Amino acid sequence: MKIQKSSSVDSDVVSNETNCRICNLMIINRDHHCVWLNCCIGASNDHYFLCFMALASEALIVAAVCDMDLITIGMSGAVLYRTSLTVFILSAVLATLSMRFLKKSRSQPSL
């Protein structure tokens, strides 16, 4: 990595660091500033951010499946017991995929 003098900061800066205007911090391999988490996403926390996004997606999928079954129950007037089994299986599969992703991202070296 090339070290260079930063014009905005009086110290040596690694060339892949970026200054965030919102946080006013130097972030290595900065991707973006997340307004929902109120922090910058960079080399030190990108795998946590991706796991957060995977789990948020899982929650939306589970909610959609539950809503579809509740609409079906309301329209037919029948009581269906497959909802809990469907949600359990879907949650187990997505949680397993999320855990595999977390293990894979932690094994990669970060700066």
Burial class (CB in 10 A: 0-12, 13-18, 19+), 87: middle
* Catalytic site includes residue 39: no
Is 0.85 surpassed by the pTM of this model?
no
pLDDT value at residue 79:
55
109 secondary structure, DSSP code: -
CA angle (79 as vertex; 77, 85 as ends), nearest 5: 140
pLDDT per residue, tens digit, the chain (111 aa), is 333 444 555 555 556 888 888 888 888 888 888 887 788 888 888 888 888 888 888 788 877 777 776 666 656 655 555 566 677 777 777 777 766 655 554 444 444
pLDDT value at residue 110:
46
Q: Which of 34, 39, 51, 66 is catalytic?
A: 34
